[in-house]
Structure 1
Amino acid sequence: MDSAFFSMIFRMKYITRWGLMRSSYPETLSEHSMDTAVLAHALACIGASRLDKPVDPMKAAVFALFHDAGEIITGDMPTPIKYHDPQITEAYKRIEAEANRTLFSMLPDDLKPYYEPVFHPAKEDEAYWQYVKAADKLSALIKCIEEEKSGNSEFKDAKAQLLSMLSSFDLPEVQVFMQEFLPAFSKTLDEQSRE
């Protein structure tokens, strides 16, 4: 049986993010997904090691790898449009869910159980999706910081909004990450190397 699932997943590298913004460098969905996976893993590691939470960082990372997979089919909907109106938001969620169902249906039946939690989240995995949601916002914030470092002020408002969102997250892991690891993203390579 021929399956297009993985060839579709590998198309993430063709989907560009931040379509309404002038970027110093383009960011693909593939890059964003990897960054989000690294961050979700880090947040879950902080939760497990410092806050004694019963979480598996590997599971958080895998969920994050596929968190925007539906955008292979839908493309990246800019945030100001996606959340401008509740009806648009609801319609986009339905479209996103259908895109995820389409991708999932491309898997051979024997592999579906392994991908089921990724494409059809269960209630008991809600904590992991909170890590993914926070990591998604942290990834966007880091993009804003990197653009700012490049002299691009286009991301100034997005950065302020993301900082506000992240400060209201009910996850102590996010605050730990922001205090301990986020400042290094504003430094040059030489400054980071001296620490």
Structure 2
Amino acid sequence: MTPEKLTEILYLAENLKKNTRHSWLSNGRRESVAEHSWRLSLFAYFVKDEFPNVDMDKVIMMCIFHDLGEAFTGDIPSFYKTNNDEEIEKHKLCEWLNTLPQPYKDELTSLYKEMDELKTEEAKLWKAMDKLEASIQHNEAEIRTWLPLEYELNPVYGEKECGFNEYMKNLQEYTKQLSLDKIAKESKKD
């Protein structure tokens, strides 16, 4: 890859460091998209023993690249994101993928297709962890940063996606309990 193309990619990726998510950190600062992707990759690495038959390198790649479309559009919380928003993000990402040299163009196009289809164990695991990481981040943040709808959403966020695997179901249940405990603690203050 030429130095110019590599630099162009890194400049694009900087948007993920600048673009903030709806989630807040425990120190009261908004989380960046890049921080979410990084921690999601770390998450994947540390559950690899639970998934010996899964290509964890591929899952980590999914974690790294899954929100790259947000470098073009910014982050839109899942509960506000429309089908039109999804299509715009996908279109801009596809345009960008077509500018990549080989083999990167084909490798990433194939990876995004696998992620969209959600048929492989790797894609299912990435999607479940993506949901859980967001829920875990909400549990770490001050509850005053939660929107009213998140009192209902956060405890069940990722439940459907985690249903494919017993370990992930247990992890979602544990995360749900942390959410419920946080909500109960806040209720006692009133």
Same fold (TM over 0.5): yes
What is the 5 A alignment of 1:1-195? Answer: 2-3=4-5, 4-18=8-22, 24-48=28-52, 54-82=53-81, 89-121=82-114, 126-148=120-142, 152=144, 154=146, 157-158=149-150, 160-168=152-160, 169-170=162-163, 171-178=165-172
Q: Distance in 1 between matches of 2:69 and 2:126?
A: 15
Assess if the C-alpha contact under 8 Å between 2:154 and 2:176 holds in 1.
Answer: no
Give per-residue Cα distances to partners, 1:13-49, cap 9 Å, x unaligned. Answer: 01110189xx92110000011112222344454132x
Cα pair distance change 1:154/1:47, threshold 3 Å: same
Assess if the C-alpha contact under 8 Å between 1:12 and 1:29 holds in 2.
Answer: yes
Cα pair distance change 1:156/1:56, threshold 3 Å: farther
TM normalised by structure 1 equals 0.71
- Code of the aligned partner of 1:81: Y
Give per-residue Cα distances to partners, 1:144-175, cap 9 Å, x unaligned. Answer: 11113xx6353574254132133343122213
Cα pair distance change 1:137/1:181, threshold 3 Å: closer
Q: Distance in 2 between matches of 1:162 and 1:79?
A: 12
Q: Distance in 2 between matches of 1:35 and 1:43?
A: 12
- Alignment length, in residue pairs? 171
Task: Name the SS of the counterpart of 2:146 in structure 1.
Answer: helix
Cα pair distance change 1:181/1:93, threshold 3 Å: closer
Q: Which deviates more, 151-160 or 109-118?
A: 151-160
Assess if the C-alpha contact under 8 Å between 2:155 and 2:177 holds in 1.
Answer: no
For structure 2, list consecutive stretches of 5 or more residues without a partner in the other structure: 182-190
The alignment-based identity, stated in percent, is: 21
Cα pair distance change 1:39/1:18, threshold 3 Å: same
Assess if the C-alpha contact under 8 Å between 1:18 and 1:78 holds in 2.
Answer: yes
Give per-residue Cα distances to partners, 1:94-122, cap 9 Å, x unaligned. Answer: 11211221231232234323323333337
Q: Distance in 1 between matches of 2:172 and 2:44?
A: 13
Task: Name the SS of the counterpart of 1:17 in structure 2.
Answer: strand
